[in-house]
Amino acid sequence: MPVGKTPCGIAIPQTSSPVDARLIRGFLERAEELGYESVWVQEQIISDSPILEPVTLLAYAAALTSKVRLGTAVLLTVIRNPVQLAKSLASLDQLSRGRLTVGVGIGGPHVPERIFGISSERRARQFVEGLQVMKALWTQPRASFSGDFWRLENVPMEPKPLQKPHPPLWFGARESIALKRAVRYGDGWMGAGSSSSADFINQVGEVRRFLDEAKRDPATFAISKRVYLAIDDDSARAEWRLREWFGVRYKNAEMAARVSVWGSVAECVDKLGQLVRAGAKHLLLNPVFDEIEQLELFAAEFLPHL
């Protein structure tokens, strides 16, 4: 069950150096004990910062937990073979007993498709077709699909995902065309951690308009926001540590002040309350230092206020 009134997930420590499996195990076990609704991973395959592969890490998380949902925020599906990915995710959904939420994204100029043997041309079409291929494999006894990039005819794949018709697909998106795509093809939308609260509030308005145009029930469409968050009564120290992490992870220390939430419990409650009032139905909290301590602080001091 969610802690507080707004379901809150938390990002799994994924970037420690050296890799600390004991930290990850303890974090996951404690997150479930504290009642977090979900745990999440992100994807960056090519990086000079150490970051674990997301589907592998979620399989590890599935084995260590029994209640929390498991989410990707987000998989860059255009750099993956959709047939192989469909198989991996269906297996993960089965092994977790139906706890998977699949966050997907199209990526951007920073994604080096050629390294993966993929053309960057017509990226949006490739993205949509890849998702259609996965849905076909997940829902059809023998999948058939004919597109510009992928063609299947009577292809069997078992087992199907445990969740029917398939695990929820939440789209990471920020531009209008991508938000509209999320409403057309997805089950939810995730506001990026690299976007500000003001950006998110504006994007929620667009999503609601697209839902109305598509005649979709907003109650059945998830709206989430990743938030880089640091609780510390010493605001200057919290900001400095966030800037340090952003400088290493994103090579952009200035981004920290633009997109993060930090400060005392009261300050963070107020800032995140703005996101909830703007329409966030789910929050993905992302500590970037002292992960276990922040995990405990969020649960004890912050989440009950939501």
- Domain extents in the chain: 64-167, 176-285
Sign of CA dihedral 272, 295, 186, 178: positive
Element (H, E) at 253: none
- Neighbour count for residue 233 (Cβ, 10 Å): 11
If we measure between CA atoms, which residue out of 70, 84, 94 comes closest to residue 130? 84
Element (H, E) at 170: strand 169-172
If we measure between CA atoms, which residue out of 157, 103, 101, 106 comes closest to residue 134? 157
pLDDT at 49: 84
Query: What are the backbone angles phi and psi of residue 40, rounded to the nearest 5°?
Result: -135, 155
pLDDT at 163: 98
pLDDT at 301: 82
Give me the helices (H) in the chain, please: 21-34, 54-64, 82-95, 123-139, 176-185, 197-213, 235-249, 255-259, 265-278, 291-297
pLDDT at 52: 97
How far the first Cα of the chain sits from its last, in Å, is 14
pLDDT at 1: 34
Report whether the peptide linkage leading into residue 168 is cis, meaning its omega lies within 30 degrees of zero.
no
pLDDT at 257: 95
Q: How distant is the alpha carbon of residue 209 from its chain centre?
A: 23
CATH dotted code for 176-285: 3.20.20.30
From first to last of the 306 residues of the chain, give the pLDDT tens digit: 334 478 999 999 999 889 999 999 999 999 999 999 999 999 999 988 899 999 999 999 999 999 999 999 999 999 999 999 999 999 999 999 999 999 999 987 777 788 998 888 899 999 999 999 999 999 999 999 999 999 999 999 999 999 999 999 999 999 999 999 999 999 999 999 999 999 999 999 999 999 999 999 999 999 999 999 999 999 999 999 999 999 998 899 999 999 999 999 999 999 999 999 999 999 999 999 999 999 999 999 877 877
In this structure, are residues 100 and 58 in contact, taking their beta carbons and an 8 Å threshold? yes
